[in-house]
Structure 1
Amino acid sequence: MSSDPAIRCLGLGKAYQLYARRSDQVKQLLFGSFRRFYLEYWVLRDIDLEMQRGESVGIIGRNGAGKTTLLRLLCGITQPTCGEISVAGRIAPILALGAAFDWEMTGRQNVLISGAVLGLRRADILRRVPSIAGFAAIGPFLDQPVRLYSAGMRSRLAFAICAHAEADILIVDEALAVGDAAFRRKSLAFMESFRRRGTLILVTHDMEQIRALCDRVIWVDGGGIRASGTAAEVIQLYDDASETEDEDGIRLRLDAEARAALSQPTANRRPAKWRSG
């Protein structure tokens, strides 16, 4: 493993502008230099991290924690509000390609376009089309419009394109949640092979996949990095915190229900009925 990082982030942050009314967007355009007409919502803040060449990194966290936003920043799909990102090598982002398919074009046409986006020459893409179609297991649908594909077929095709892209960095966001068992085995085998020669970044809620594939795990929580370390260490911290938060949530719900019941007027409560034998 080289000591030079494949990815480095310093002070990385991403904020979105939230407007209470549509008219506030117009006001911001006209009078934004004098005052602000939006609330600033930080999805990520103060992210400092390095991922080494040849390293396999898992990213875990609850829904809404900022994981996908972090991946979109690393891929260049969205731009940071603050901070710096440096990437050494070609990225194949499985999270992005499937969403970028043109649904009116055929699978074959989308393969050609996606391959070009990933930096492949047309001749190289054409040579790999049969292998891509075989990996995705889409059969005669290769020459049908993508709008006829199921979500699983689109994800399989996106994964297959990335698997043939000769990338230095592979980013996978829940891609293995779709597809049958045979495709999942094929995808896992590919990632096992890739991690021996490239940098793998995997986002999933499947902790067994994280343990099997990742050298290091980053726990993203509340828009920041809560923990980073070995898979065993970080997953244990995450599980312990999740269990505590679940127990606290149940306790708060039961307390709220009890308070609501006690706050009912006495007249609304049914009196107990006694029956004698």
Structure 2
Amino acid sequence: MFRQSSATEVFEALKGISCEVYDGESLGVIGRNGSGKSTMLKIIAGVYRPTLGKIAVQGSVAPLIELGAGFHHDLTGRENIILNGLLLGLSRRAIQEREEKILDFAELGEFVDSPIKQYSSGMFMRLAFSIATEVDPDILLIDEVLAVGDAEFRAKCDARLDKFREQGKTIVLVTHDCEAVRRLCTRVLLLDHGRLLADGPPNSVLSKYEELVHEVVA
């Protein structure tokens, strides 16, 4: 359980959720706005601590939770590669060994040596995704950031995520994009008002999600 409190009330963002995610799984987390999806991801990433219950994470984690998080806007793209790599636990030497692969995948061209405050949201996403996947984490957390990329780069990301999963890595993807869930996920959780409504194969859980949305609209 995760609670946020004020002087007058306590808001339970997540309530009684229990699940396990295994090596090689690509887990989609879906639900309407305010259902607790991003809160769950931030608890896994260690940004928040649960107020009740516990979470156990085995392995290194690379979070792509908020676009631009962990970046210094006055530094260049190249300098931010070093900064992010250090934040993710790599040595400076290990980061430098990966730098060219990160730059090749991100396709930033001459902008790599420009301050990232000049970057578009798509350029931010390219660099952040390239760093997070090249540092070779055991668990990759993604919260909607792929939505800002163009179709060609999203296809590159999909291919890298497929390879990532084939290597036995774990992916947790929060998104409203049902097609992305069908393409990328092997299992899906449906949250609503902080509770787990469904846990199962993508097509089955997506059908329940669509029913939920239609009920609200009706």
- TM-score of the two chains, using structure 2 as the length reference: 0.95
C-alpha RMSD of the superposition = 1.3
Query: 1:221 Cα deviation (Å)?
Result: 0.6
Residue matched to 2:37? 67
Using the alignment, how far apart are the partners of 1:77 and 1:213 within structure 2?
Answer: 25
Tell me whether 1:162 sits opposite 2:150 in the alignment. Answer: no
8 Å CA contact retained: 1:174, 1:204:
yes
Residue matched to 1:45? 15
Residue matched to 1:217? 188
Kindly provide the CA deviation profile for residues 158-193 of structure 1, in whole angstroms up to 9, marking residues without a partner as x.
101011011111111112211222111111110111
Structure with the higher fraction of residues in strand conformation: 1
Secondary structure at 1:79 match in 2: coil
Residue matched to 1:110? 80
Tell me whether 1:127 sits opposite 2:97 in the alignment. Answer: yes
Report how many aligned residue pairs link the two structures.
217
Residue matched to 2:26? 56
Query: 1:98 Cα deviation (Å)?
Result: 2.6
Give the number of the structure whose alpha-carbon radius of gyration is greater. 1
Flag as ranges the 4+ runs of structure 1 deviating above 3 A: none
Residue matched to 1:240? 211
Using the alignment, how far apart are the partners of 1:78 and 1:108 within structure 2?
Answer: 29
Tell me whether 1:206 sits opposite 2:177 in the alignment. Answer: yes
Calculate percent identity across the aligned residue pairs.
42
8 Å CA contact retained: 1:89, 1:168:
yes
Residue matched to 1:17? 5
Secondary structure at 1:89 match in 2: coil
Residue matched to 1:230? 201
8 Å CA contact retained: 1:210, 1:231:
yes
Secondary structure at 1:166 match in 2: coil
Using the alignment, how far apart are the partners of 2:20 and 2:92 within structure 1?
Answer: 33
Secondary structure at 1:77 match in 2: coil
Secondary structure at 1:171 match in 2: strand
Using the alignment, how far apart are the partners of 1:245 and 1:97 within structure 2?
Answer: 30
Using the alignment, how far apart are the partners of 1:154 and 1:17 within structure 2?
Answer: 33
- Give the structure, 1 or 2, with the largest relative contact order (CA under 8 Å, sep 6 or more): 2
Q: 2:58 aligns with which of 71, 88, 91?
A: 88
Secondary structure at 1:52 match in 2: coil
Using the alignment, how far apart are the partners of 2:187 and 2:150 within structure 1?
Answer: 28
Residue matched to 1:34? none
- TM-score of the two chains, using structure 1 as the length reference: 0.75
